Amino acid sequence: MLFLFVGLWGCQRQTALIIDVRSQGEYNTEHIANAILIPHETIGSEIEKIEENRGREIIIYCRSGHRAGLAKTILEGMGYTHVTNGGGLMDMKAKGYQ
């Protein structure tokens, strides 16, 4: 069962849109390659940055997973259905994201 989960996460990694919801300063210090920055407090007003990706898997991360959870709730309230809280930056790295 663990193999299946890891395999599915690997599939997500190749096609998912990755959103970093931390601050600009945190993002500048370190972030996952190809992640776009949309701070959690502005995700509702900056939705046009990802609107074309409505049907795509979206993985959101922050430092600990808390802000990612808040952003996930906002996106789900706006009709996004394929949103995953990736946790914190270190969680994402542990899953193989660089």
Query: Which amino acid type is present at position 95?
Result: K
Number of domains, the chain: 1
pLDDT for res 47: 87
**pLDDT tens by residue, 24-70:** 999 999 999 999 999 999 999 998 888 888 889 999 999 999 999 99
Q: What is the CATH number of the domain that holds 76?
A: 3.40.250.10
Domain around 70:
2-94
Specify whether 62 is catalytic.
yes
HEC-encoded secondary structure of the chain: CHHHHHHHHHHHHHHCEEEECCCHHHHHHCCCCCCEECCHHHCCCCHHHCHHHCCCCEEEEECCCHHHHHHHHHHHHCCCCCEEEEEEHHHHHHCCCC
List 62, 68, 75, 89, catalytic entry: 62
